[in-house]
A and B are shown apart, each in its own frame.
Chain A
């Protein structure tokens, strides 16, 4: 009997811990959501109210129509989509070479890629600012996407290599005996089998690029191509508390796409994070 009670007690303790963890991690998001639905008096109510009685959903319409946030979302979407394409276009062939060719320098190449991953974006973005301003390429989508891609490529290449390694080499060989050259082997045999890994890589690149801040903050000063992260920081520094509910609504709008990706594709993210991080 005491054994059963001990088991029950442990279960209760774990449920309690779950509750504490969930509150600690979701409360900040809940609070911003609550702020985003308020009227100005509710914003400054003292003591603070937990949730507005009459949620002001028009705050969201206001933010989307009266502030440039809607446009910033589209800029982010363009940049992120293009970045995924470039990263996969460059990363998959590189990962294939590192996975399938035996050559002397392959370890050195892998190490060099790893070193790039560890370098702070703040460090490299300063010379890039300088260089791109000479070429008159600041505020340029193509340059921006190239830098975004470069920052995502080291981890993506490692990550994709891990997934290509998992595709049995015998399949390559039989395809080659069938008369496929390497391009055909990659496209018809290896890629279809590595699809789950490629999807994970694409999602991770999307989440990380959506969050990217330093690069556009320094390489862009024209609001007509601001991504949403830079746009929100500008809104924050210009609004000075008068429009807190709009700042909160803007933050929610910027989080929602990530949340949607996250809720529906979580298994890819979890496997991706564990795989990718353990390998570098």
Chain B
């Protein structure tokens, strides 16, 4: 911001004749006066890396191509296959449980932590920044490494730390990653650990923008802390909580890296979320057509969520999208 004064002094130079620029480069100047040249590089990259692949994946989903043989006639067979496959139902089941529980707990925990940190900050307590940083650490660690870290915590041998800590309460070792239902819970817990930071920081930012006066007024009117939270804070935050919800829904549906490193989708297919199914169909089973059909399912989820997001942004009246 130190540059502001020097830029401001230019305002004083306005009186000088504009001819002070001796070499007007007309071609360049005119070229730069349309927005499109400025947007062209971005457009090229987005067309190549997003638009083309999306069209191609939709095309592939209507074939029965494999990675080895691609020249197959067009058919809706892939969709019929996955629709009738028991794997599709189980994948959907696993994905939905994973997404719903991740999202609910990430938002709830994020909200509680944001609230605690905000109160601590208002009271000027020490350790507020340290607490916020500890939560954000989880956000900065690459997803695959989070998977590896949690696989070490979940070790089922007698040297596994979580089993050691939990033993006094359960009296037997918990098969964190080897028993299907438990593995899905373990995976979801690790994902909650990973994703809470994002919700926390968004809600924290939202809480900073709330006017203290409204809360004060409620306090004067005799509302207790719980009433102030439910009747004053949450309604004020509602639009941003909804945006937060949609963003983490999209993100959780797309999760791939952490699951691959933590469970690899196993045991069996008990933790195989949709992104893993796509990978498995295409690169393990070489069913390009079927994998593409799964990918189109995920793409549809992405697009529906995006439409909801855009509607929400428009409704909140900030005209940002």
Q: Verify if A211 is at the interface (C-beta below 8 Å from B).
A: yes
Instruction: Give, as a whole number of angstroms, the nearest-CB distance from B49 to chain A.
Output: 3
Query: What residues of chain B lie closer than 8 Å to A233, measured between beta carbons?
Result: 144, 148, 260-261
Are A94 and B38 CB-contacts (below 8 A) given A118-B250, A277-B198?
A: yes
Cβ of B161 within 8 Å of any chain A Cβ, yes or no, is: yes
For B21, B57, B135, B148, which residue has the most chain A Cβ atoms within 10 angstroms? Answer: B148
Tell me, in angstroms, the Cα distance from A197 to B107 when the chains sit together. 27
CA distance A97 to B34 in the complex (A): 8
Q: Does B292 contact A (CB under 8 A)?
A: yes
Establish whether residues B116 and A14, one from each chain, have CB atoms under 8 Å apart when the complex forms.
Answer: yes
Known: A123-B295, A214-B257, A229-B257. A97 touches B35 (CB 8 A): yes
Contact A179/B148 with A119-B302, A127-B52 known, Cβ cut-off 8 Å: no
Q: CB distance B3 to A183 under 8 Å?
A: no
Smallest beta-carbon distance A18→chain B, Å: 5
- Of A46, A93, A262, the residue contacting B140 (CB under 8 A) is A262
Q: Contact check, A35 vs B49: say whether CB atoms are below 8 A apart.
A: no
Say yes or no: B142 contacts A126, CB within 8 Å.
no
A73-91 contacts to B (CB < 8 Å) = 89-91
Known contacts A11-B123, A32-B149, A229-B257, A119 near B283 by CB under 8 Å: no
C-alpha spacing A183/B89, complex, angstroms: 55
A244 touches B136 (CB 8 A): no
1/0 contact string of B1-16 vs chain A (CB within 8 Å): 1011001101101101
Residues of A187-215 contacting chain B, CB below 8 A: 189, 192-193, 195-196, 207, 210-214
Among A46, A113, A151, A270, which residue has its beta carbon within 8 angstroms of that of B159? A46
**Is A69 part of the binding interface, using a Cβ–Cβ cutoff of 8 Å?**
no
Interface residue SS majority, chain B: helix
Asked if B3 and A91 make an inter-chain contact with CB atoms under 8 angstroms apart, the answer reads no
A157 to B39, CA, bound (A): 10
Among A122, A189, A207, A217, residue most surrounded by chain B Cβ atoms (within 10 Å) = A122
- From known contacts A35-B152, A175-B10, A213-B144, infer whether A277 and B247 are also in contact, taking CB-CB under 8 Å: yes
Size category of the binding interface on chain A: 35 or more
Contacts A31-B153, A183-B32 given; does A193 touch B142 at CB 8 Å: no
- Number of B residues contacting the other chain (C-beta, 8 Å)? 111
Most A-side CB within 10 Å, residue of B123, B142, B309, B320: B142
With A and B bound together, what is the CA distance between A254 and B146 in angstroms?
Answer: 11
Q: Which of A25, A124, A153, A254 has the most CB of B within 10 A?
A: A25
The answer to whether the Cβ of A68 comes within 8 Å of any Cβ in the partner chain is no
User: Which of B119, B159, B313 has the largest count of A CB atoms less than 10 A from its CB?
Assistant: B159
Please give the distance in Å from A10's CB to the nearest CB on chain B: 8
B145–A193 contact, CB under 8 A? Answer: no
Give min CB distance, A150 to chain B, whole Å: 3
Contact status B148-A232, CB under 8 Å: yes
Given contacts A18-B127, A153-B45, A178-B10, contact A262 B135 (CB under 8 A): no
Contact B120 A18 (CB under 8 A): yes
B-facing residues in A203-239 (Cβ within 8 Å): 207, 210-214, 217-218, 229-230, 232-233, 236
Q: How far is the CB of A255 from chain B (nearest CB, A)?
A: 6
In the complex formed, the residue of A with least CB distance to B8 is: A171
Residue B306, interface by CB 8 Å:
yes
Instruction: Assess whether A229 is in contact with B42, with CB atoms less than 8 Å apart.
Output: no
A22-B131, A183-B28 are contacts. A124–B306 as well, Cβ < 8 Å?
no
- In the assembly, what is the distance between CA of A192 and CA of B6, in Å? 11
- Whether B140 contacts A259 by the Cβ 8 Å rule is yes
Residues 92-135 of B, flagged 1 when their CB comes within 8 A of A and 0 if not, give 00000000000000000000010010011001010110111111
Contact B254 A121 (CB under 8 A): yes
- Residue A280 CB within 8 A of the other chain: yes
A229 with B306: in contact, given A22-B131, A273-B201 (CB under 8 Å)?
no
Interface flag for A59 (CB, 8 Å): no
Is residue B193 contacting chain A, with contact meaning CB distance below 8 A? Answer: yes
Q: Provide the bound-state CA to CA distance between A272 and B57, in Å.
A: 33
Q: Does B195 contact A (CB under 8 A)?
A: no
User: What 0/1 pattern do residues 222 to 243 of B give for CB contact below 8 A with A?
Assistant: 0000000000000000001001
Q: Are B20 and A122 in contact (CB under 8 A)?
A: no
Report whether B49 and A181 are in contact in the complex, using a CB–CB cutoff of 8 Å: no
A114 within 8 Å of B by Cβ? yes
B residues neighboring A (CB under 8 Å):
1, 3-4, 7-8, 10-11, 13-14, 16, 18-21, 25, 28-29, 32-36, 38-39, 41-42, 45-46, 48-50, 52-54, 56-57, 60, 113, 116, 119-120, 123, 125, 127-128, 130-145, 148-153, 157-161, 164, 193, 197-198, 201-202, 204-205, 240, 243-244, 247, 250, 253-254, 256-257, 260-261, 275, 278-279, 282-283, 288, 291-292, 295, 298-299, 302-303, 305-306, 309-310, 313, 320-321
By Cβ-Cβ distance, the 10 closest A-B pairs, closest first, are A179-B21, A150-B49, A97-B38, A274-B205, A211-B142, A46-B158, A127-B56, A101-B35, A127-B53, A124-B53
Question: What would 14 A/B residue contacts be, using CB atoms closer than 8 Å?
Answer: A15-B127, A48-B160, A93-B39, A93-B41, A118-B305, A118-B309, A123-B295, A126-B53, A153-B45, A180-B21, A213-B260, A263-B133, A273-B198, A277-B202
Excluding A31-B161, A218-B279, 6 further A-B contacts by CB distance (< 8 Å) are A101-B35, A118-B306, A150-B46, A153-B45, A214-B256, A248-B152
